[in-house]
Structure 1
């Protein structure tokens, strides 16, 4: 499959954040783009408004005639989250189409380009968006495929006029092994996706393989302390090749200094809060310095950076109420989010609403979730969001509650949660999770505001 030959693109699972980015990219190139997803969302509505045809019925009869015979101009992309018995997937397979994963298509797009790939079990979306924003804001420019909606651009895909492409490299299903970057950043390698990898060591081995695929003359940048033998390290607390120093909070904003062997940048203001985001910014600075971006341009870009939707995103910020929403769904992500909120607002009682994501992840990390959620002052726990999984006997949200020491904890339905927030109106609220908890954001915002 050659990129220049593609005229028609069908995406099975088009509503996913990564898949929708590809849909927008090929639509931007002038291709006919269609797709299927299970449910309508704000994102699929946006795609339809942009001129992309989407169906929500897994029925081959709705596939357009122009997609019914395989040829070199037709590309079919699918997400592994789509059930194997999907009628639409089955149709394309029976007709002899070659089906491509999103990661394979990213590999095809980035082939022959100067590729900056950001990987990690957490931190990769914000870091890749920071890198892309610095390149855009500085005038260096780039194209970018992001795992979230960049607030500065209200999109998950950016179009550039040069051959630099920034790619979020997803470790799920070993997808990132389709990439051969010039610059690779690895933010974290915590145990995750054990339903795919089996154990932490196999996950670690895959990250090492990803690092080994860097092109000749390229560079690996990774967080200090990761089990990698080569590369250039960064940290906000340990000795490393690139470090953030003098981290402080002034008037609700994070400031820090950056230093590596060649460069000192003082008094960097970060447009979004969080110690973990200072760490992400340290990696982004190191990567963009290597692309020739000047110190002042980096400093200016980070001050204007507005983050990613659902990544430590302020929903309400008034004298009476602060409400932050975050995508955190791994114990270490939760730790970073809760720690940063409590440092920012030490005098307020923190109420956290958490929706566990996947039965396997809940089973594998129940102790970790319990330990981290004990850091909050009050917890409301929702049912597990199953995503692609079937239920596992004996695994539910209660196994987290049962292992916690926190007294002020309860498990509620979504509606009960909205009612509780409307009645109690906490001064400091945090919602966390990667499932459909985002559907509660607007109702909870209204509940705090008496709407």
Structure 2
């Protein structure tokens, strides 16, 4: 696959957050981009406005039958009519990860993997490199608030790539710098056991290019099996790590801190997004930037100007009386970090969490962990499980989680949430989940803003 000789490319599942980044990459190179997705979204409308042709029915008559390359997401069923037609007619059909594989071969690649934190860390790194003038091509799994997109290009032959562990696609990448944020059990429908998933992350570190560098979170399970010529460990505050934060102060929903290393430090860093876990994410990103030789003053300025990622500890409403945070958290450890940080930043405010479980298999496998993390809130509202690519599993419902939660909890359909909140006092509200719970952000935000005026 020679990415430089492609004139036309067709995407099956173009509206996915990772797929759309690659579609934008080709579009900016002047390639004719078209594709299919199941539903029209704000993101697909943006892609259309950028000149891409998209349709929303699985219909062979709407295909680009002269395309040079077909890219599909593994979330698309194997029996998808368009996918089958291209295969039956001998077109070059590849996964999204195959395109990223070629990009990591041809550019200096910085990849960020982990069961959580990878979107924030990769976006922070991309912003640090861009804001400082170093430059990079960014392929992200979230929408950067600073740039209002998940991809941007640069003449600099450097790529920052969010490395997705779903269906082992990240094992195709060959990074020069690899970041590893977490190895908690997830996607057990793919991996089968937590140990098999850990094996995949260990293999990810074995794919680092010769003389490359691994930047891994301190304390990861099986840390001694992680492989790299050069290995640096980062931590929130543990001074046994190579890089860590010190003198952390909470300031108006954000943080000030210093980053310490054995032979360097950057003091008085200001970060204006919430979440103590984001301080740790910043330590990882700053370690990458320092490794690339970026000036401390430019690093400090870039972190201060970083506005975060949509749906990652995103402040929808933030006043003295009302705080509403929306987040993508869909794993127990992500919920734990989210709720703990929010309660620490806004002590004394009653914390209400509205959570939409994502996938029947994840709910089945991690129900105990979800209940334990959600019980850190003062009250919980659960939505029905968002199925995504899965069919229902008998006996697996939101009630599996609700039955184990130790604080007041109720299950509501999404359509009833706004009406319920009209009658409630929710000084600190969090909506969380990876499904379509984001559709609540605008109406709930509108309701709470009106309540505070």
TM-score by length of 1: 0.97
Contact 1:422 1:444 in 2 (8 A): no
Residue equivalent to 1:360: 361
Q: Secondary structure at the match of 1:176?
A: helix
Alignment correspondent of 1:56: 56
Cα distance, 1:320 vs structure 2: 2.7
Q: 1:20 aligns to what SS in structure 2?
A: helix
The equivalent residue for 1:175 is 169
Deviation of the 1:342 alpha carbon: 0.1
Please give the alpha-carbon distance, in whole angstroms, between the structure 1 residues aligned to 2:205 and 2:258. Answer: 28
Query: Which residue does 1:160 correspond to in 2?
Result: 154
TM-superposed CA distance for 1:236, in Å, is 1.2
Q: Give yes or no for contact 2:356–2:432 (8 Å, CA) kept in 1.
A: yes
Deviation sequence 1:11-42 (CA, Å, 0-9, x none): 00000000011111101000110000000100
Is 1:228 paired with 2:223?
A: yes
Q: Deviations over 1:66-92 (max 9, x none)?
A: 33xxxxxx1100001111221111111
Distance 1:183 1:346 in 2: 38
1:429 alignment counterpart: 429
Contact preservation (8 Å) 2:422, 2:447: yes
2:442 alignment partner in structure 1:
442
Q: Aligned with 1:111: secondary structure?
A: helix
- Partners of 2:139 and 2:150 within 8 A in 1: yes
Q: Once the two structures are superposed, what CA deviation does each residue of 1:173-214 show, in whole Å capped at 9, x if it has no partner?
A: 111111111100000000000000000111111111110111
Q: Is the 8 A contact 1:353 1:431 kept in 2?
A: yes
Q: Report the Cα offset of residue 250 of structure 1.
A: 2.1
1:222-263 Cα offsets, whole Å, 9 max, x none, are 001112225211111322111111112023321111011221
**Secondary structure, aligned partner of 2:39:** coil
| Structure-2 separation of matches of 1:150 and 1:267 | 24
Q: Distance in 2 between matches of 1:252 and 1:440?
A: 23
Match of residue 333 from structure 1: 334
Deviation digits for residues 281-302 of structure 1 (CA, Å, limit 9, x no counterpart) = 0000111111110111111100
Matches for 1:301-312 after TM superposition, within 5 Å: 301-312=302-313
Helix, strand or coil: the match of 2:386? coil
Tell me the number of residue pairs that the alignment of Structure 1 and Structure 2 aligns: 444
C-alpha distance in structure 2 between counterparts of 1:110 and 1:221, whole Å:
17
TM, length-normalised to structure 2: 0.96
CA distance in 2, matches of 1:127, 1:63: 37
Give the superposed CA RMSD. Answer: 1.1
Secondary structure of the structure 2 residue equivalent to 1:265: strand
* Aligned residue number for residue 209 of structure 2: 215
Residues in 2 aligned to 1:449 and 1:146: alpha-carbon distance in whole angstroms: 30
Q: Take 1:117 and 1:376, find their aligned partners in 2: how far apart are those partners? A: 34
Residues 39-61 of structure 1 deviation map (CA, whole Å, 9 limit, x = unaligned): 01000011111110000001111
**Offset at 1:65?**
4.1
1:196 and 2:193 correspond:
no
Instruction: Verify the 8 A CA contact 1:60 1:87 in the aligned structure 2.
Output: yes
Measure the CA separation in 2 of the matches of 1:271 and 1:159: 25
Q: Which stretches in structure 1 are left out of the alignment for 5+ residues? A: 68-73
Asked if structure 1 preserves the Cα contact closer than 8 Å seen for 2:10 and 2:64, the reply is no
Q: Bigger CA drift: 47-56 or 259-268?
A: 259-268
Deviation at 1:447, TM superposition (A): 1.9
Matches within 5 A, 1:109-124: 109-124=103-118
Per the TM alignment, residue 358 of structure 1 is displaced from its structure 2 partner at its CA by 0.3
In the other structure, the counterpart of 1:375 is: 376
CA distance in 1, matches of 2:376, 2:252: 24
Q: Matches of 1:297 and 1:369 in 2, distance apart?
A: 39
For structure 2, which runs of at least 5 residues remain unmatched after alignment? none
**1:352·1:431 contact (CA, 8 Å) conserved in 2?**
yes
